[in-house]
Amino acid sequence: MTVSEGHRITIEQDTRHVRVVHGGEVIAESRRPLVLRETGCPVRYYLPPEDVRTDVLTPSGTHTYCPFKGTASYWSLPGGDGRGDEVWAYPDPKPEVAQIKDHLCFYGVEVVAEDAD
pTM of the model: 0.87
Of 97, 95, 96, 78, nearest in space to 87 by CA:
78
Taking residues 44-71, report their average pLDDT: 95
Q: For residue 1, what pLDDT is reported?
A: 55
In contact, 87 and 106? CB cutoff 8 Å: yes
Residue 116 has pLDDT above 50, yes or no: no
Q: How confident is the model at residue 78 (pLDDT cuts 50, 70, 90)?
A: confident
Across the chain, mean pLDDT equals 88
CATH architecture of 2-114: Beta Complex (2.170)
The SS3 of residue 115 is coil
